[in-house]
């Protein structure tokens, strides 16, 4: 009850921060608009109240299939399903300008920061989850010629109701030629492969050096020209003690040594000292789910670089250590968000559903006797 009160209190206190830039919204209200507003929606075409779409196992539902030039400004979903794993089983994909491979490919829960396959309330600037089970994105998603968004049911249970509203604008002239496309990519390590089973007490842990990011968990490897805007990550601990102490490392344009090197996991996500006692959810960073100490503990964190995106002209490798110098063997699930020109690099193959579902693995170490 205490944790719920904290999250609800955070929700209320940060209401003025929702969306992308409320101060700009207000200042721009008196300016003429040069677009036509549209919505792709699951509303009942008969005029009735059956405002949803079912998605059978193995079926792909097309949510949007529209010509450009245009820009998606907001996405809202809510899902009715008896499948406990539907946030992992439903896969969201987005395609721009007729591309064959998607620029967005991720389990739908992970896209909205719910990487543990469970709902919780939180609010950031680009993403938030409202009561009850309302999934919202405010990432701007421009396209020159065409936009297509789909959801595929890779589970064994029918989704009886998928509700959606996608707000988008169309323009009567092309977007600027240098406009970049939105991308989001899912990755996981279940488990990550740590070099030690101990967090403390093993002299190899504190003395281990890692200057070049060897064996780091990779959020993103991109090629092209663009900028990194953030990441959501969820952790299911396979071992006792603290899952953090991992430094973030960003390698820009083929660097051997990272030009951006952090000081610890909670530091990158703008907390400190293991995130303290309480979860938090702010505009650009948060740890709305925070358990610490025992194998089986769950955490979800996010960081958005909206104040200063990380640019790259040729390539970007965005990573973080799993424990100091990669000593931890926990389960990590993440989505990286970035903008770039096309074409983009081929995404890693999406893990099959049974591997995406969070579960404790026998890796040995405190709280986990290897089988």
Note the pLDDT of residue 10: 39
Q: What is the largest CA-CA distance in the chain?
A: 69
Note the pLDDT of residue 200: 58
CA atoms within 13 A on the CB side of 135: 22
d(CA 147, CA 367): 48
Upstream peptide bond of 339 is cis (omega within 30 degrees of 0): no
Q: What is the DSSP string of 348-363?
A: PPPPPHHHHS------
- Digitized pLDDT (tens) for each residue of the chain, 371 residues in all: 344 434 433 333 333 333 345 567 888 899 999 999 999 999 999 999 999 999 999 999 999 999 999 999 999 999 999 999 999 999 999 999 999 999 999 999 999 999 999 999 999 999 999 999 999 999 999 999 999 999 999 999 999 999 999 999 999 999 999 999 999 999 999 999 998 776 555 666 777 898 998 999 999 999 999 999 999 999 999 999 889 889 999 999 999 999 999 999 999 999 999 998 889 999 999 999 988 778 999 999 999 999 999 999 999 999 999 999 999 999 999 999 999 999 999 999 999 999 999 999 998 888 887 54
- Strand bridging mode 331-340 / 181-189: antiparallel
d(CA 299, CA 279): 9
Which residue, among 12, 71, 351, has the nearest Cα to 185 in the 3D structure? Answer: 351
d(CA 105, CA 305): 21
In order of start, what are the domains of the chain with their CATH numbers? 2-356 (2.60.120.1390)
Note the pLDDT of residue 7: 41
Q: How far is the first Cα of the chain from the last one, in angstroms, to the nearest whole number?
A: 36
Alpha helices in the chain (DSSP H): 2-13, 22-28, 86-89, 108-111, 203-207, 265-268, 353-356
Note the pLDDT of residue 99: 97
Q: For the chain, how many residues are written?
A: 371
Note the pLDDT of residue 185: 98
| Distance from chain centroid for Cα 237 | 19
Note the pLDDT of residue 351: 97
Note the pLDDT of residue 17: 33
Share in percent of the chain as helix, strand, coil (round to 5): 15, 40, 50
Note the pLDDT of residue 312: 98
Residue partners of 317: CB distance under 8 A and separation at least 6: 213, 218, 220, 221, 250, 251
Structure tokens at 265: 């996991």
Q: Compute CA distances 286 → 7, 120, 178, 327, 350, whole Å.
A: 11, 13, 32, 24, 26
Which residue, among 357, 290, 366, has the nearest Cα to 122 in the 3D structure? Answer: 290
d(CA 269, CA 286): 6
Note the pLDDT of residue 85: 98
Q: Compute CA distances 298 → 206, 312, 325, whole Å.
A: 24, 33, 21
Q: What is the DSSP string of 154-199?
A: -SSS-EEEEEEEEEEEEESSPPPTTPPEEEEEEEEETT---S-S-S
DSSP 259: S
Note the pLDDT of residue 20: 45
DSSP 14: T
Q: Compute CA distances 168 → 65, 146, 147, 284, whole Å.
A: 12, 12, 10, 24
């Amino acid at each position: 009850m205490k944790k719920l009160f904290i999250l609800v209190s955070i929700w209320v206190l940060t209401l003025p921060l929702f969306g992308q830039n409320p101060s700009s919204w207000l200042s721009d209200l008196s300016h003429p608009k040069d677009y036509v507003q549209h919505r792709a929606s699951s509303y009942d075409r008969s005029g009735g109240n059956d405002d949803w779409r079912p998605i059978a196992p193995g079926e792909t539902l097309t949510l949007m299939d529209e010509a450009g030039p245009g820009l998606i400004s907001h996405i809202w979903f809510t899902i009715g399903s008896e499948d406990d794993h539907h946030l992992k089983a439903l896969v969201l994909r987005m395609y721009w300008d007729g591309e064959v491979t998607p620029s967005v490919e991720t389990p739908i829960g992970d896209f909205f920061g719910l990487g543990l396959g469970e709902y919780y309330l939180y609010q950031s600037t680009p993403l938030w989850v409202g009561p009850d089970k309302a999934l919202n994105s405010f990432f701007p998603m421009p396209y020159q010629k065409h936009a297509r968004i789909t959801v595929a049911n890779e589970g064994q249970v029918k989704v009886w109701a998928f509700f959606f509203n996608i707000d988008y604008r169309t323009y009567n002239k092309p977007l600027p030629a240098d406009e970049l496309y939105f991308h989001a990519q899912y990755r996981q390590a279940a488990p990550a492969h740590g070099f030690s089973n101990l967090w403390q007490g093993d002299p190899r842990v504190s003395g281990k050096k890692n200057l070049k990011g060897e064996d780091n968990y990779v959020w993103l490897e991109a090629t092209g020209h663009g900028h990194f805007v953030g990441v959501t990550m969820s952790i299911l601990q396979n071992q006792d003690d603290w899952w953090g102490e991992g430094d973030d490392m960003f390698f820009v344009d083929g660097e051997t040594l990272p030009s951006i090197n952090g000081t610890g996991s909670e530091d990158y996500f703008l907390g400190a000292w293991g995130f303290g006692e309480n979860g938090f959810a702010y505009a650009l960073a948060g740890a709305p789910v925070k358990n610490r100490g025992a194998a089986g503990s769950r955490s979800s964190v996010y960081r958005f670089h909206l104040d200063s995106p990380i640019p790259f002209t040729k390539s970007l490798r965005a990573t973080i250590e799993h424990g100091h110098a990669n000593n931890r063997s926990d389960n990590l699930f993440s989505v990286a968000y970035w903008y770039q020109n096309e074409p983009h690099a081929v995404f890693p193959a999406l893990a099959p559903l049974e591997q995406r579902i969070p579960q404790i693995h026998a890796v040995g170490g405190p709280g986990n006797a290897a089988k």
